[in-house]
Structure 1
Amino acid sequence: MHIVLGDIRDSELVDETFRKGNFDVVIHLASVSRVIDAEQNPELCKDVGLNGTRNILDAAEKYGMPNIIYGSSREVYGEPSELPVKESYGIHPINIYGEIKAECEDMVRFYQEKCHSPSLVLRFSNVYGSWFDHKSRVTPLFIRNILEGKQVTINGGGQLFDFTHVEDTVEGIMRAIDAVRSGTVTFDDVHILTGEHHSLQELISYIEEATGKKADIAYNAARSYDVEKFYGDPAKAEKLLGFKAKISLEEGVKKFVTHLLNKPIRILKVIHGYPPYYMAGSEVYSYQLANELAARGISVGLFTRVENPFIPGYTSDYAVEKGVLIKRVNNTSSDYVLTDKYLNPKIDESFEEFLTEYEPDIVHVGHLSHLSTNIPLIAKKHNIPVIMTIHDFWMYCFRGQMIDSAGKVCPKQCEKNCMVCLEKRLKKHADVEDYRTYREHMEKVLDSIDYFIAPSKHVMNFYITMGMGAEKITHLRYGFDKERITFLKRTFNKGDNIRFGFTGRIIPVKGIQTVIDAFGMVRSDTATLKIYGDAGKYAKYLDSGDSRLGIEGPYHADDIDNVLKQIDVLVVPSEWFEVSPLVIQEAILAGIPVITSDLGGMPELIQEGGNGFLIPPGDKKYLANLMQKIVDDPTVLNSLDIDTSVVVSVEDHVDTVMKIYKRFAE
């Protein structure tokens, strides 16, 4: 499913959407939502209703003339003198909302006559039943007020309405789609409703029964633009579409109350990149977490960025991928001054827009680089708890990896050391005051985050050393879909050809040059080294001319099992404080021995002589000697005990994360 978030009054966007969409049926439900909104802002109602509908019909005529299903309303009838109302009663609206709906019906009718595309007008009546609904509509408003002990106000008191549950309404729309596709209708207007009538007092009594709470009812004078009584005849819908509503108001209110009281938790994940555009550890972890949550029926939204120089900056694109609603914002801005590293008002605006649309219970931050550090502050402004998984040191080190200006491990995060890096990176565009302003802001952001998840003890201890309260942080390793990776018990013999492998981001601090140079010292015509990852324009610099070296290019996280089957020994020679490399844990699941640096969180995963080997960071000769030892006698690998139980399953990981979510959501 592809989502385009826009305004039907934007004729260019509508035209482009229809041009790309190749639609055969268009369901047009867009309008100003309520009668009172139309009365208070009639020009907006006309603009959205008339101009928006005109844009849709013009684009439909231009691109394939699809069938149109238009969502109209009982308001077109005005105050009927005959009940139940048949579709043939006549159009006599008494409010602006009804007038605009009636005009739009005529526009759809004219479209059908001109284009000869079977189309339908569906007239809805008091649809209810979803917590996505406008909170001020009568049914959700009454339920919420009664649940919260607030007064319920009735304007008038003699109303009779035909209430239709949203599930019945959706069924009616689906039947309408079948009808226009099959050509069993040419054009018609049809009620999608129950044919039953209930007073507002009856509605309240059903809510009282469902909630176990007594309503405090107050009465105001009736409003001149409100229809007092309406219920429709559903016979035509049954005859023409085979549709008959099934859910009574009493049953529907019970379902709605249960839905509101037990609505699933809604998570908004924030990450600076997301597959398939970005495939580093934090991005892949976010991908796996979001997919597992969605597979459990949890509502998951995800806010991320892309960098596409071929479209305007800050353009947003929406998509649903594996049940996850994703908003990707095009951020092509560069870091010219220090504030560009951590603040971006355009990203703030885009995030807040998504936040208010999505209404999450929890915001779970993965990384804020290339986005904006105001994101947690915006969430807190809306009283939404913020959880953060720590993937590196970016909240304290603007480079992210505690690497100094010479590319070596930084001994300490402090003003003196940070200024050396800033002056080298930003030249004259950052001074001490800029740095202090930056750190003051970052401390404010850190304080605003409710809870931190640390995938390694090393990074957890770092945060505590930097002043983080131990009660605000917990150690939890990443979770993995163990069924996605095939475990192979390998037995090696002397003379076997050993295939070394490197997987992940191709950047200097990952030790990529170290492993290439070390392998170049290995004496063997049959051993190979394969580099898997996106080297981009730097691939030519990695090619040493050694025929045994293969630059294999990027891969998708979903293909990791196939990649690992090409490797006998994985080398992870990172030269920074890696937190908890996914590639090490994926190798363990595949039964592959790992050579990795004795640094950061890596020795928490690999034990020397147990499930792999530890090397001094950046020591090419040490690594070369170890690789030579394995090539000369591969049987040394047989003594390793690779136990997959040390890797946390994604199911267990998400169980723990859900407990954290619920703790703070409640």
Structure 2
Amino acid sequence: MGSLGSAMPTSGTSSPFFRRRSPRLSRTYNFGGVDCASMQPRLYFVGKVLLAVLFTAFCMSALRQTSSLAGPSKFATHERGVTHVLVTGGAGFIGSHAALRLLEDGHRVTILDNLSRGNMGAVEQLQALFPEPGRLQFVYGDLGDSKRVNEIFEQNAIDAVMHFAAIAYVSESMADPLRYYHNITFNTLTVLEAMKTHGVKKLIYSSTCATYGEPEKMPITENTPQVPINPYGKAKKMSEDLIKDFATTADLSVMILRYFNVIGSDPKGRLGEAPRPELRKHARISGACFDAAAGIIPGIQVRGQDYNTSDGTCIRDYIHVTDLVDAHVKALDKAEMGKVSIYNVGTGKGSSVKEFVEACRFATGVNVTVTMLDRRPGDYAEVYSDPSKIQRELNWSAQHLDLRESLADAWRWRKRHPDGYSVAMI
């Protein structure tokens, strides 16, 4: 899940769901020694049975009283004025920032993640920030396990789903396409089936500009033809199609957000993007820049310098993660029953890879070296958004437009957490 993402016993977490256990007697009674044919009065036998029944009734009453005093889990009960949001992939980079914003806005949040790409440290940070009962819970689970997903929906009173969970590297999708179709498309089907079974009517879906492929015209609007050129984009488009087809048969409120290249981190330094060493070969350019600035790798390898762009390198639309999360919150508030709405979420401005590297050098203060390599399979030359629809309909626009400042936010967190959430430097 973005870690569904990509979902375990944890210390300090609240119970992932409310369970009712049937009370069991702590002792048994043996009636085998009674000889009904003897002269012993039958009342003796009946008395023992009555005594056992009364004892059992007393124990059950005590258990019910204890349960009543503890009260039902807030996560298992709908509460007027409180929206309970299930955040799939909520331990990941984008999902954790979304959970932070939802909690700040007073929502109840359940994070579902299998931790394949997420980070428990992000969840623990959120739990430390919002320790009050009924605010945040973490549930370990994999969206590929339909039985587990249905259990979570059954045992929690969920009002809306923000579905972030997904693996999301273009090069990895080219090397292992079946994994991407399973992780993205099949898992989205599992979520939709659980929503249908349990009557959850609101969905905010995390999609991508990769569904457009390499359009002939820039900027990209929501009406730009979707012709994805890599399995990641194809799997996301298939998920969109599943959602739209299902929505025609159910009274759903759906927002599909197609966003562009996400950078930055919480400006207050509470959350960030933890590096995953095993994924460095698929790393996004921001992670590679920071690895080079930290001396972990000797420099940056830029794939492709012969594209039909101003400086020969790819052009992308880089959006700050807090701006992206703001779009999700506005989408949650504005979702209309029985309607599927689709929005591009970007700055409307493209920056080349060379411009990005210069911004990274400025933000880190390190003159990272660059090696130019051949193109990477599945990449496209130029992609940036036209965000006018989301500005017009949701009153949303990106606020962090300076690439250097956005990277500086991320670099500050990375310097304090060189090994991710496990260690913080003072």
Q: TM-score range by the shorter chain?
A: 0.5 to 0.7
Match of 2:293 in 1: 146
Match of 1:95 in 2: 230
Q: Are the aligned partners of 1:210 and 1:253 in contact in 2 as well (CA < 8 Å)? A: yes
Question: In 2, Cα distance between the equivalents of 1:155 and 1:165?
Answer: 23
Relative to structure 1, the CA distance from residue 159 to residue 185 in structure 2 (aligned partners, 3 Å threshold; closer, same or farther) is farther
Deviations 1:355-392 (A, max 9, x none): xxx8512xxxxxxxxxxxxxxxxxxxxxxxxxxxxxxx
Q: CA deviation at 1:80?
A: 1.1
**Displaced runs of 4+ in structure 1, greater than 3 A?**
none
Q: Indicate whether 1:258 and 2:320 are aligned.
A: no
Q: Indicate whether 1:156 and 2:304 are aligned.
A: yes
Question: In 2, Cα distance between the equivalents of 1:71 and 1:195?
Answer: 19
Deviations 1:443-471 (A, max 9, x none): xxxxxxxxxxxxxxxxxxxxxxxxxxxxx
TM-score by length of 1: 0.39
Q: Secondary structure at the match of 1:164?
A: strand
Q: Secondary structure at the match of 1:223?
A: coil
**In the alignment, residue 122 of structure 1 is paired with which amino acid?**
L
Which residue among 267, 274, 280 is the counterpart of 1:132? Answer: 274
Deviations 1:315-351 (A, max 9, x none): xxxxxxxxxxxxxxxxxxxxxxxxxxxxxxxxxxxxx
Q: Indicate whether 1:173 and 2:328 are aligned.
A: yes
Question: In 1, Cα distance between the equivalents of 2:186 and 2:220?
Answer: 29
Question: In 1, Cα distance between the equivalents of 2:421 and 2:416?
Answer: 16
Which residue among 349, 356, 361 is the counterpart of 1:203? Answer: 356
**In the alignment, residue 332 of structure 2 is paired with which amino acid?**
I
Question: In 2, Cα distance between the equivalents of 1:228 and 1:5?
Answer: 39
**In the alignment, residue 416 of structure 2 is paired with which amino acid?**
N
Deviations 1:547-584 (A, max 9, x none): xxxxxxxxxxxxxxxxxxxxxxxxxxxxxxxxxxxxxx
Match of 1:6 in 2: 141
Q: Indicate whether 1:121 and 2:183 are aligned.
A: no
Q: CA deviation at 1:111?
A: 2.2
Match of 1:236 in 2: 389
Q: Indicate whether 1:72 and 2:218 are aligned.
A: no
Match of 1:219 in 2: 372
Match of 2:179 in 1: 44
Note the aligned Cα RMSD (angstroms).
2.0
Which residue among 185, 190, 214 is the counterpart of 1:55? Answer: 190
**In the alignment, residue 330 of structure 2 is paired with which amino acid?**
R
Question: In 2, Cα distance between the equivalents of 1:217 and 1:17?
Answer: 47
Q: Are the aligned partners of 1:25 and 1:67 in contact in 2 as well (CA < 8 Å)? A: yes
Relative to structure 1, the CA distance from residue 150 to residue 108 in structure 2 (aligned partners, 3 Å threshold; closer, same or farther) is same
Deviations 1:104-128 (A, max 9, x none): 0011112221112110110011112
Deviations 1:591-642 (A, max 9, x none): xxxxxxxxxxxxxxxxxxxxxxxxxxxxxxxxxxxxxxxxxxxxxxxxxxxx
Question: In 2, Cα distance between the equivalents of 1:41 and 1:244?
Answer: 35
Relative to structure 1, the CA distance from residue 178 to residue 166 in structure 2 (aligned partners, 3 Å threshold; closer, same or farther) is same
Question: In 2, Cα distance between the equivalents of 1:79 and 1:222?
Answer: 15
Q: Are the aligned partners of 2:274 and 2:421 in contact in 1 as well (CA < 8 Å)? A: no
Residues 151-160 or 123-132, more deviating: 123-132
Question: In 1, Cα distance between the equivalents of 2:321 and 2:213?
Answer: 23
Match of 2:98 in 1: none
Q: CA deviation at 1:258?
A: 1.7
Question: In 1, Cα distance between the equivalents of 2:227 and 2:378?
Answer: 13
Question: In 1, Cα distance between the equivalents of 2:233 and 2:380?
Answer: 10
Question: In 1, Cα distance between the equivalents of 2:355 and 2:230?
Answer: 25
Relative to structure 1, the CA distance from residue 185 to residue 143 in structure 2 (aligned partners, 3 Å threshold; closer, same or farther) is farther
Q: CA deviation at 1:66?
A: 2.1
Relative to structure 1, the CA distance from residue 184 to residue 254 in structure 2 (aligned partners, 3 Å threshold; closer, same or farther) is farther
Q: How does 1:53-452 map to 2 (within 5 A)?
A: 53-129=188-264, 130-132=272-274, 136-148=283-295, 150-157=298-305, 158-180=313-335, 183=336, 186-248=339-401, 249-263=403-417, 359-361=421-423
Relative to structure 1, the CA distance from residue 10 to residue 216 in structure 2 (aligned partners, 3 Å threshold; closer, same or farther) is same
Q: Are the aligned partners of 1:22 and 1:64 in contact in 2 as well (CA < 8 Å)? A: no
Q: Secondary structure at the match of 1:30?
A: coil
**How many matched pairs?**
270
Q: Are the aligned partners of 1:23 and 1:64 in contact in 2 as well (CA < 8 Å)? A: no
Q: Are the aligned partners of 1:75 and 1:227 in contact in 2 as well (CA < 8 Å)? A: no
Question: In 2, Cα distance between the equivalents of 1:141 and 1:167?
Answer: 21
Q: CA deviation at 1:96?
A: 0.6
Relative to structure 1, the CA distance from residue 228 to residue 219 in structure 2 (aligned partners, 3 Å threshold; closer, same or farther) is same
**In the alignment, residue 274 of structure 2 is paired with which amino acid?**
F
Question: In 2, Cα distance between the equivalents of 1:60 and 1:133?
Answer: 33
Q: CA deviation at 1:43?
A: 1.2
Deviations 1:255-289 (A, max 9, x none): 111221234x99xxxxxxxxxxxxxxxxxxxxxxx
**In the alignment, residue 214 of structure 1 is paired with which amino acid?**
N
Q: Are the aligned partners of 2:250 and 2:338 in contact in 1 as well (CA < 8 Å)? A: no
Q: Are the aligned partners of 1:65 and 1:115 in contact in 2 as well (CA < 8 Å)? A: no
Q: Secondary structure at the match of 2:221?
A: coil
Q: Secondary structure at the match of 2:341?
A: strand
Match of 2:111 in 1: none
Q: Are the aligned partners of 1:68 and 1:108 in contact in 2 as well (CA < 8 Å)? A: no
Q: Are the aligned partners of 2:213 and 2:233 in contact in 1 as well (CA < 8 Å)? A: yes
Identity of aligned residues (%): 24
Relative to structure 1, the CA distance from residue 91 to residue 133 in structure 2 (aligned partners, 3 Å threshold; closer, same or farther) is farther
Q: Which runs of 5+ in 2 are unaligned?
A: 1-135, 265-271, 306-312
Question: In 2, Cα distance between the equivalents of 1:71 and 1:110?
Answer: 17
Q: CA deviation at 1:172?
A: 0.8
Q: CA deviation at 1:184?
A: 7.7
Q: Are the aligned partners of 1:146 and 1:152 in contact in 2 as well (CA < 8 Å)? A: no
**In the alignment, residue 2 of structure 1 is paired with which amino acid?**
Q
Question: In 2, Cα distance between the equivalents of 1:51 and 1:104?
Answer: 8
Q: Secondary structure at the match of 2:377?
A: coil
Q: Are the aligned partners of 1:128 and 1:140 in contact in 2 as well (CA < 8 Å)? A: no
Deviations 1:143-180 (A, max 9, x none): 22133172111000320000011111111111111111
Query: Which structure has the higher relative contact order (CA within 8 Å, separation 6+)?
Result: 2
**In the alignment, residue 288 of structure 2 is paired with which amino acid?**
L
Q: Are the aligned partners of 1:195 and 1:234 in contact in 2 as well (CA < 8 Å)? A: yes
Q: Are the aligned partners of 1:23 and 1:66 in contact in 2 as well (CA < 8 Å)? A: no
